[in-house]
Structure 1
């Protein structure tokens, strides 16, 4: 199973655990969950991990509450994708939380909530939010949904992409190059427009204009306009030519798919939509999808899938949608 498929599976497991914890489960939901868990040993294992970590974090949160170190407002809220305040996340309370809860804050199980690194970032967007920023040294930065970045210096010329996706523009020739860090890689340029997308240790870099140098330890390459490279723990991949319109469409508030597998489409929907869309049919995941959709109307994709492909959806509480 590749990294993207594993993230999708873990996200689906989390969505099921959240729904079970909501107290609004119907007999039909139980049947659907049984069907989902029986699809493969990986599905069953992902569900077991999600349920175990959910319980462990709940115990840690209860410990904080009993010691008076968790605010009543936060203690009363259900565990979800809600944003915790920076103060609550990195304050002295973490020093006394149980081992399970402390680990969960540093390395969130199944991407259930933002990590400490994300919460402590200088700029962060939540689900469905985008943000345009102007930095010193004539650098602009456009943050996509669910993105965290940290400034490593006061001049805006050294930036770390902690998670998510961002577009960077170095507008004029500078003596000091713009440096973007993502996982173990480094992107440098004196003047360029480029996009960086990070999911864990997997990073994708796309050059929209100009030239960008991409370095991963002892490996290096230079991207020109319309070129893309991916890297992860296994190393730097080959340079590929891509359609810039597809990669940058989110900056115009739309998503464009051209014969993309439905599994990939669902992954994008979940970046911009609260809750979770879950594919219940393995064969369905490979179905090619084409279309242009507005990011602020994500549910329109679900309607179009039904109209054009006969894919049916079932909505559960908490924004969970099952596709069959």
Structure 2
């Protein structure tokens, strides 16, 4: 397990995000031609990822998060959506503002500003909380504390945390996430953010609840996912695999390569992309130390017959 003081990870926009930003700014100009729009449509049709990237940027332009992001880093005034501002200046301002704000959001810096404890990519860190409980932050995680006279707990802004909670029946320990909450008295468990919140319990009992209703109770060796609308069915876990990261390892059993790479990518300083659908479905088994993620990628490529293409320090492609 590694721990670094004052981590300063390098953040950058992906190629797709960069292209989407350029298209967004280009289409704000009233002089955008039919040819421009035809080329934009062709770009969207290349990959579903293009549409997703553009939609996120368009939504971000309308969101309060943009104002919040920019107010934290620089005094860049938002352009007023008014006819009084010349169209060309508006388009240029839109490009600068959205690019700045989107970089902050995509790189996780907004979460880090709100956090009391963070880890960089590939870093793991164990901290002691005010009540004697402990929290181990996995790679690229942001955690905020929420303690008071009558409450104890934390909010996971992003990432994954393993908790060792000291018993206190008078003050249950509450983990807050965007989709819901996890409530315990004394136990050991992990919570991982994402499209759904994943909860794995090593010992004790935890109660999981969605923001909009629904709840489940988990005991040792069980797993569930929390959505805003409710909580998924409870399933059994292999504790050795579920908590392997605490020992600096990645263990997977007969899983699609795409799932393994998605998990490995969380620890890797850059993006790992699989370009072949058949390769992505290839099932693999392994037990690796997380010390050298690039070496794991090469090993998985050898096993599956894939070719590794390093396009840059931050982009690795696996091709069948």
TM-score (norm: length of structure 2): 0.72
Aligned counterpart, 1:144: 138
Question: What is the 5 A alignment of 1:24-63?
Answer: 41-46=47-52
Aligned counterpart, 1:76: none
Cα RMSD (Å): 3.2
For residue 167 of structure 1, report the CA deviation from its aligned partner: 0.6
- 1:233-280 CA deviation, whole Å, 9 max, x = no partner? 342110111111111111110100111111111111210111111101
For residue 19 of structure 1, report the CA deviation from its aligned partner: 9.1
Aligned counterpart, 2:125: 131
For residue 321 of structure 1, report the CA deviation from its aligned partner: 0.9
Aligned counterpart, 2:269: 274
Native 8 Å contact 1:138 1:172 kept in 2: no
Q: Please, which of 242, 249, 252 is the counterpart of residue 247 of structure 1?
A: 242
Question: What is the 5 A alignment of 1:83-232?
Answer: 90-91=71-72, 93-94=74-75, 96-98=77-79, 100=94, 108=102, 112-154=106-148, 157-200=152-195, 202-216=196-210, 217-232=212-227
Native 8 Å contact 1:261 1:288 kept in 2: yes
Native 8 Å contact 1:132 1:143 kept in 2: yes
Counterparts in 2 of 1:42 and 1:18: CA distance versus 1, 3 Å: closer
Please give the alpha-carbon distance, in whole angstroms, between the structure 1 residues aligned to 2:164 and 2:147: 18
For residue 152 of structure 1, report the CA deviation from its aligned partner: 1.7
Please give the alpha-carbon distance, in whole angstroms, between the structure 1 residues aligned to 2:304 and 2:178: 38
Aligned counterpart, 1:33: none
For residue 218 of structure 1, report the CA deviation from its aligned partner: 2.9
- 1:72-119 CA deviation, whole Å, 9 max, x = no partner? xxxxxxxxxxxxxx9x9653735625585666677x479631152332
Counterparts in 2 of 1:90 and 1:296: CA distance versus 1, 3 Å: farther
Aligned counterpart, 2:14: 15
Native 8 Å contact 1:94 1:102 kept in 2: no
- Report how many residues are paired: 262
Please give the alpha-carbon distance, in whole angstroms, between the structure 2 residues aligned to 1:121 and 1:44: 31
For residue 135 of structure 1, report the CA deviation from its aligned partner: 0.7
Which stretch shifts more, 152-161 or 204-213? 152-161
- 1:285-317 CA deviation, whole Å, 9 max, x = no partner? 111111011111111212212322211101112
Q: Please, which of 295, 299, 307 is the counterpart of residue 294 of structure 2?
A: 299
Native 8 Å contact 2:129 2:135 kept in 1: yes
Counterparts in 2 of 1:123 and 1:94: CA distance versus 1, 3 Å: farther
Native 8 Å contact 1:89 1:119 kept in 2: no
Gaps of 5+ in 1: 1-13, 21-36, 57-85
- 1:160-199 CA deviation, whole Å, 9 max, x = no partner? 0111100111133442111111113111111100100001
